[in-house]
């Protein structure tokens, strides 16, 4: 059994759809980072997505062994919607963007991936980590954290979308056996 400590990367302050766009994290809140470090298991290895905002946040978790970055832990790929606001996309494709958010599953942005694609990719990444250590810290993004939470809690997409996942928060869970220990914990 591996306990996953899922940490959402530091804030980017973007007000648009940011998935695979590689924006830096604002890690200037040193007190929040110190509290986060104190909350996480000391000897647990750290892995992150390969996007710089996750890498930099993982780097801030000093003194822990590092695993190679994993692109399987990236945020959902918004395709042609990347860096655009909901209002901009809604003006062009109202039915498609509403379907993407209101009935997620197989709906994809043009050139992007669906919720089901993200969930499958995230599950595969976590399955590769399962059993490597008793505790693993995973620095990732809103979407992959929700996908792992959905799996651990056997939730519908609507149920998991009701959860808030703040930057620098911790969601702790196991997948085998499935159990949720905490959601959106702010240290």
- The residue ranges of every structural domain in the chain are 3-185
**Cβ neighbours of residue 115 closer than 8 Å, sequence gap 6 or more:** 76, 100, 104, 105, 106, 107, 143, 147, 157
Instruction: Give pLDDT tens digits for 56-112.
Output: 999 999 889 999 999 999 999 999 999 999 999 999 999 999 999 888 899 999 999
pLDDT digits (tens, 9 = 90+) for 20-62: 999 999 999 999 999 999 999 999 999 999 999 999 999 999 8
pLDDT tens digits, one per residue of 110-164: 999 999 999 999 999 999 999 999 999 999 999 999 999 999 999 999 999 999 9
pTM of this structure: 0.96
DSSP assignment of the chain:
--EEEEEEPPP----S--SSS-PPP----HHHHHHHHHHS-TT--EEE-SSHHHHHHHHTSTTS-BPPP-GGGPPP--GGGTT--HHHHHHH-HHHHHHHHHS-SS---TTS--HHHHHHHHHHHHHHHTTS-SEEEEEE-HHHHHHHHHHHHT--HHHHHTS---TT-EEEEEETTEEEEEEEE--
* Confidence at 187, pLDDT banded by 50, 70, 90: confident
State the Cα–Cα distance between residues 57 and 61, nearest whole angstrom.
7
CATH number of 3-185: 3.40.50.1240
**Calpha distance 29→83 (Å, rounded):** 25
Cα 46 to chain centroid, rounded? 14
């Amino acid at each position: 059994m591996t306990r996953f400590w899922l940490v959402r990367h530091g804030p980017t302050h973007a007000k648009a759809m940011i998935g695979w766009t590689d924006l830096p994290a604002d890690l200037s809140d040193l007190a929040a980072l110190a509290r986060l470090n104190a909350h996480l298991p000391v000897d647990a290895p750290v892995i992150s997505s390969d996007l710089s905002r996750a890498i930099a946040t993982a780097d801030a978790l000093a003194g822990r062994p590092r695993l190679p970055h994993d692109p399987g832990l990236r945020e959902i790929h918004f395709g042609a919607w990347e860096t655009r606001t909901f209002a901009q996309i809604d003006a062009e494709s109202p039915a498609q963007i509403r379907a993407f958010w209101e009935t997620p599953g197989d709906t994809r942005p043009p050139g992007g991936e669906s919720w089901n694609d993200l969930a499958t990719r995230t599950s595969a990444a976590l399955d590769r980590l399962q059993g490597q250590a008793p505790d693993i810290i995973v620095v990732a993004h809103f979407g992959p954290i929700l996908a792992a939470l959905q799996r651990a809690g056997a939730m519908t997409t609507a149920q998991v979308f009701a959860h808030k996942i703040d930057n620098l928060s911790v969601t702790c869970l196991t997948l085998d056996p499935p159990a949720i220990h905490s959601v959106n914990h702010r240290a």
